[in-house]
Amino acid sequence: MADYGNLGRFYINGEWVAPSQGATLIDVINPATEQSVAKVPLGTSADAEKAIAAARAAFPGFSGWSAADRLALLGRIRDVYESRLDEIAEAISTEMGAPLAMAKSDQAWSGLGHIEATMTALKAFSFEEQRGSTLIVHEAIGVAGLITPWNWPMNQIACKVAPALAAGCTVVLKPSEIAPLSGILFAEILHEAGVPAGVFNLVNGDGPGVGQVLSSHPDIDIVSFTGSTRAGILVAKSAADTVKRVAQELGGKSPNLILADADLASAVAGGVEGCFANSGQSCDAPTRMLVPRERHDEALAIAKETAEKLVTGDPRDPATNLGPVISQVQYDKIQALIASGIQDGAILVTGGRDRPEGLSQGYYVRPTVFGGVTPDMRIAREEIFGPVLSIMPYDSEEQAVEIANDTVYGLAAYVQSGELEHARAIARQMRAGQVHINSPDWDLFAPFGGYKQSGNGREYADWGMRDYLETKALIGHG
């Protein structure tokens, strides 16, 4: 296990520095054991100011680097990152409870994938375009304040930091204070890769102490935030006074529309597994499964069988499919929403309240499937962020599309059909930033972001780079 020797320090201006006097120490809790595994200081506004000043000072030099030099830097970061994959997976599993195998194959790998996708995008990206006598130039927007979540910690760090550096921006990163171990390792990776002083800075802290400073500070030119819609609203309000760019990836309540011509057994089973992956803690999880009413009972039976085959338990056990959820707060929220589903009259197909049998310690949630869910129920409208699936019957495709779009969110949607053209036609009617047709592979070059209260802006590869670029017109350039 990594020793996390830099946990008590922040990475500012190319050095590991002690926090400002009076910094509060908080415990990093392993959600599988409910025990503290480390302590980290919460940064203050003074720490954030130092990091912002370092990034501002480094910006003129770094933004002048050629694309080839930035590409070479990303290549060095990729190589160091790859050499530390096992450490990264260990850190993620420890801090947020992902099964160790999944922490490596999905969680840690995603960071590497985003770095490589950004490199591919940078090679092909055109920073200048001639239109008549006007030259259109895309140049780095400035200093980027990045605020990342705990549920996919390295995925979100990499898909923000890599495009920001590729664009020529300098960075101040505030990872989640609940899951800071992987962020510390990321800073170590960038230091080893030779990122110039001030180009990348890391300050641990909470929203009020550091996040608010990043979102409101006049020397931050863009704030990119991933987290809850509630917190995203606060970030946007805080950023408004300085009229900075705000990019947000927020909550979701994604529909999974299974059409009548789909293979019901594989579609339902895949939908259950997709919803419960990462213990249901993914913003784009397919949490609302829509099935034809005449096949509703059949779908419930398939979902029950699939859910009850999944093993919830110790993240270090190779047999484990679902680890714990992140915290006591999250556990309590999920339990309350399960209770609301029962109270509102949904059919409890499997799972339910309290921990799975045999697990008396850790924030473990029973994989839960509800049937007969109607659009007015809380479990159909609120983001649960746990292993809870709502199966909703529909009477026609028109009604199914209406139910699917009847949400304040619009991050993702899923369509399953035996006929590709049929699926394509329905997919076009989904009001979501990503629509997955017939369970495709993860595409790190597809734009990721949402409609409505799921946010604004797009991430991944060149789509992420665009958020960190300004557009300048040199009129009469010739």
Query: CA torsion angle for 95, 78, 202, 36 (degrees, to 10)?
Result: 10
Phi-psi region of 69 (alpha: psi -120 to 50; beta: other; left: phi over 0): alpha
How far lies 149's CA from each of 176, 179, 224, 262, 459, in Å? 5, 8, 11, 35, 15
Active site residue 116: no
φ and ψ at residue 292, rounded to 5 degrees: -60, 135
Which H helix or E strand runs over 58? Answer: helix 45-63
The span from the CA of 61 to the CA of 137, in Å, is 18
Q: Catalytic residue among 249, 275, 383, 459, which? A: 249
Write the single-letter amino acid at 267.
Answer: A
Full 3-state SS string of 12-36: ECCEEECCCCCCEEEEEEECCCCEE
What string of DSSP letters covers 234-259? HHHHHHHTTT-EEEEE-----EEEE-
Q: Quote the CA–CA distance of 378 and 117 in Å, as a whole number.
A: 38
User: Structure tokens of 336?
Assistant: 């309350």
Reduced DSSP (H G I as helix, E B as strand, rest coil) percent helix, strand, coil of the chain, to 5? 40, 20, 35
- Active-site residue, 249 included: yes
Q: How far is CA 459 from CA 98, 154, 422, in A?
A: 23, 14, 28
Q: 179 to each of 40, 153, 327, how far by Cα in Å? A: 10, 7, 11
Q: Are strands 143-147 and 170-174 parallel, antiparallel or unpaired?
A: parallel
Q: Which residue has the tokens 């201006």?
A: 13
The per-residue DSSP string of 356-377 comes to: PTT--SS-----EEEES--TTS
Which one of the listed residues 87, 283, 383, 459 is annotated catalytic?
283
Residue 270 makes CB contacts below 8 A (sequence gap 6+) with 416, 439
The radius of gyration of the chain's CA atoms, rounded to the nearest angstrom, is 23
Q: Which amino acids are annotated catalytic?
A: 249, 283
